[in-house]
Amino acid sequence: MPELVYNPYAFSLHEDPYVVYRRLRDEAPVYWNPELEFWALSRFDDVHEGFRDHATLSSANGVALENRGRVGDQFRQMIEMDPPEHSAFRQLVSRVFTGRRVAEMEAQIRTIVSGYLDAVTAKGEADLVAEVTGPFPMDVISVVLGIPEGDRAELRRHADEVMVRDDGKIEMPKVALDGMLALVAYFAEDLRGRRPHVDPGLISEFLELKVDGRSLTKLELLGFCTLFVIAGHETTTKMVANAVELLDRHPDQRRQLIDDPTLIPAAVEEVLRFHNSTQYMHRTLTRDIERHGQIMREGQSVLLVIGAANHDEREFGPTAENFDIHRRAERHLAFGYGAHFCLGAALARMEGRVALEEIHRRIPDYVVDRDRARRFHSGNVTGWTSLPITFTPQYPAV
């Protein structure tokens, strides 16, 4: 058997990470990568506990491996803070993602998704990512933030660039650095012209927020803006395209969704568990700990490998490696756990549900062209850059 190597930047891993993940769980539940200098936890209980124990596994040194030690150089993002500071910022913005406010967005989200489908249904073919699953989440988060329609395509391009990585390399390539600089420059200019109580959206509300009795700093404002536009777009874009690709590979289950759309929420949960767009989160140890006979030292990096944990048969039983929309898993870690549980989880779930409802209502016989499909290569995000599909053309009634 070849040597067990887990490098989250290796393009070969991205084709099917779950073979390596199984070996991690079985052979090295506490795995050390000497080249990139990180530990990896892969079993469900260990990853779950890692998210829960934020005092020991800190987010303050970056949540992506390549960003460790660079946090605060340009701006501060909420996900790179620990409680109690994180809790104070989280409370400020959590009201935007309440169940009521998310529910009120459903009709608008459906209109947005339908608009992009309207543009492709008569053609009988589409690049699902470029024409549907890429632009619609950017429109949704732009409505939340108050970003003008004419700016959204450019911001989506820069958000995609930020996530790009080179094969096997931890260093951020020039395209990713340039993409981040472009996002920061855009929001720096946008914030200068924002008018509280006049301009719509969450960005305008940011200008009025106070934490510990003070207004947010420029760096904190930039952190909020870039975090929301990247997280609000990238993960949902990948999740919906991953769902379509998985359902194309499981036609019997797709037929069940078409016949009974009430199964779609459960299908979204299974997509999140089976092939989540976020594969790991980085943490930094604040003290020495022991796991499975290995001593991990204060200051070292630890990857909480969500993709591996969500396939752990110790949690999900002997069918953990199977895609099953009828699974009733009581819990998974696609949105993290504990203090850093994803604020946008309810919105992402709704976007996924609405998109799958409309896709399977409008173009139910889609076929993925695997010869032309292209994977998105990043460190901790997985999905598709291009997912060409064909289907029976649908023409508007006259």
Q: Among 64-73, 139-148, 270-279, whose mean pLDDT is lowest?
A: 64-73
pTM, two decimal places: 0.94
Question: Span 243-257, mean pLDDT?
Answer: 98
Backbone CA torsion sign across 254, 311, 16, 137? positive
- Interval 321-340: pLDDT, tens: 999 999 987 789 999 999 88
Question: Span 51-66, mean pLDDT?
Answer: 93
Q: In sequence order, what are the beta bridge partners of 215?
A: 210
CB-CB contact of 319 with 347 (8 Å): no
Amino acid found at 203:
I
CB-CB contact of 65 with 303 (8 Å): yes
Angle at 198 between CA 195 and CA 202, to 5 degrees: 75
Those residues with Cβ within 8 angstroms of residue 307's Cβ, 6 or more apart along the chain or in another chain: 17, 18, 21, 275, 276, 279, 280, 382
Q: What does the pLDDT read at residue 70? A: 66
pLDDT band at 193 (very low <50, low <70, confident <90, very high): confident
Q: What does the pLDDT read at residue 398? A: 47
| C-alpha distance from residue 168 to each of 14, 66, 274 (Å) | 11, 12, 24
CB-CB contact of 82 with 60 (8 Å): yes
Q: Among 37-46, 57-66, 311-320, whose mean pLDDT is lowest?
A: 57-66
Domain residue ranges in the chain: 11-390
- Interval 65-121: pLDDT, tens: 998 876 555 566 788 888 888 887 787 777 777 778 888 999 999 999 999 999 999
- Interval 167-191: pLDDT, tens: 999 999 999 999 999 999 999 999 9
Q: Is residue 367 pLDDT above 80, yes or no?
A: yes
Those residues with Cβ within 8 angstroms of residue 176's Cβ, 6 or more apart along the chain or in another chain: 161, 162, 163, 164, 165
The architecture (CATH level 2) of 11-390 comes to: Orthogonal Bundle (1.10)
Q: What does the pLDDT read at residue 65? A: 92
Q: What does the pLDDT read at residue 299? A: 96
- Tell me the percentage of the chain whose pLDDT exceeds 70: 98
User: What three-state secondary structure class fits 274?
Assistant: helix
Q: Is residue 284 pLDDT above 80, yes or no?
A: yes
Q: What does the pLDDT read at residue 212? A: 78
- Interval 108-121: pLDDT, tens: 999 999 999 999 99
Q: What does the pLDDT read at residue 288? A: 98
Residue 360 has which token pair?
Answer: 């399977």
CA–CA separation, 379 vs 209, rounded Å?
Answer: 33
Question: Span 227-249, mean pLDDT?
Answer: 93
CB-CB contact of 206 with 224 (8 Å): yes
Q: Is residue 50 pLDDT above 70, yes or no?
A: yes
Angle at 43 between CA 85 and CA 351, to 5 degrees: 60
